[in-house]
Amino acid sequence: MAQFAYRARDSRGAATSGVMTASDQEDAVRRLRQQGLTVQSVSLRAEAGGLGALARIQVGKPRVKPSDVVYFANQLAVMIDTGVPLAEALESLGQQAPNPTFRDVLMSVAADVEAGQPLSEALAKHPKQFNCMFVSLVRAGESSGNLGLMLTSVADYLVEAEETRRRIKGAMTYPMFMAGLAVVVVVVLMAFVLPRFTAIYNNKDAVLPTPTRILMGVSDFCVAHWLPLIITVVLVTAGAIAFFMQPVGRRFLDTLKIRLPAIREVCLKVYIARSFRALGTMVTAGVPVIEALEIARQTATNVHFQDVFTRAVEKVSQGETLSDQFFCTTLIPITTSQMVFAGEKSGRLGAVLLKVCGFCDRDLKDSIKKMTTMLEPAMIAFMGLFVGGIAMALLLPMFNIGKVLAK
């Protein structure tokens, strides 16, 4: 199979172009005509050499990004709304997918749909690319006949979720950079700078200040035992990762996230916005409430929020209201629970949940801004005290440098 660049016009005369995979040029022309396009040109896509070929070398299959899934959902929604048969639309999108992993997935989905399977069942075979919420909304769209609308809803949800993730990642970039810089500076000072000063002071038999002696002793120990120290750091890091991957460790970490004053407000808003957006999108789309709660529980990455939704599934299935379960937890603000109660009474639960997400998103932006405002000076102060303290301990003998060098 090879890739071909093409230019064509659709039934309305609008120009279109792209890249598709086909066995040869005739096969590419045939596929384009099957899509109702008037072919203008088809040419074999040139393979990049040199650095371009080197850039394509990769270990394993490339990961499917959320943006790939968003683009697929939007494009499929447009093609369905314009009357393109589902199997043909899937095959066309699969052929044009630049990610080879996603291309294989879409071609497999297209083959299953062509064989008579519903789209939701075909997508469910690929849970890594299409999560349970995606499949549930597609199933709801198939039942209601609004598949295009449901795909657009899925794309909107994924875009909002990715935007929230980027906000959090952006807020943590600066503190992580400063922490990494502090580690590098300390390692350089302890491993390369201090040993030189140690040799000077030892040769002069200088009486050094206590902070300098302590610092030089630590430096000597690190230089003499660098290999065991590295092994210890690696083992401790691996042990911590293994611990936090266990249920007990995960619960401990999730508890810290919702209790530490510095990050509690941001974390709570993230979890509420994420789970309520999933719940509101599905309820609005007509997904049964119990199924929607189950999926919302999976989207809530904190075990304490998962416990809330697990209890809600049990109680709602017994006839109790969803708002009652939210009133019973301190993780969800009372005002939010009151809005959910009003939504249940008015029969507009889905719309209310989505409105709550909008409030949480706006509050989240403010909370991230406040957290960043506090973290930046805190990290600068940490760098000043920690690294500056080492530098001062190193330079204290310099105040008596004349006496030291005179010996």
Question: DSSP letter string over 15-66?
Answer: EEEEEEEESSHHHHHHHHHHTT-EEEEEEEPPPP-THHHHHT--SSPPPPPH
Q: What angle do CA 288, 294, 298 make, to 5 degrees?
A: 140
Q: Which residues contact 74 (CB under 8 A, 6 or more apart)?
A: 151, 152, 155
Contact indicator for 32, 20 with CB cutoff of 8 Å? yes
What pLDDT, on the 0 to 100 scale, is given for residue 58? Answer: 45
Element (H, E) at 7: strand 2-9
Which candidate, 169, 172, 167, places its Cα nearest to that of 379? Answer: 172
Please report, for the chain, how many H helices and E strands are present, in that order: 19, 3
* Reported CATH class of domain 163-407: mainly alpha
- 20 φ, ψ (degrees, to nearest 5): -135, 160
What pLDDT, on the 0 to 100 scale, is given for residue 47? Answer: 46
Give the residue extent of every domain in the chain: 1-57, 163-407
CA 190 to each of CA 204, 375, 387: distance values in angstroms, whole numbers, following the listed order: 21, 26, 11
3-state SS of 65-91 is CHHHHHHHHHHHHHHHHCCCCHHHHHH
What are the CB-based long-range contacts (under 8 Å, 24+) for 48-52? none
Taking the model in full, what pTM does it have? 0.65
What pLDDT, on the 0 to 100 scale, is given for residue 51? Answer: 43
Contact indicator for 100, 61 with CB cutoff of 8 Å? yes
Q: Which pLDDT tens digits describe the chain residue by residue (407 residues)?
A: 666 777 677 777 666 777 777 777 677 777 877 777 776 666 665 444 444 444 444 445 678 888 888 888 888 888 888 888 888 888 888 888 888 888 888 888 888 888 888 888 888 888 888 888 788 888 888 877 778 888 888 888 788 777 877 877 777 787 788 778 878 888 887 777 777 777 666 665 556 778 878 887 888 888 788 889 889 989 999 999 999 888 899 899 999 988 888 778 888 888 888 888 888 888 887 888 888 888 888 777 889 988 998 899 888 888 888 888 889 888 888 988 898 899 888 888 888 888 888 888 788 778 777 777 777 788 788 778 877 787 787 777 766 655 555 55
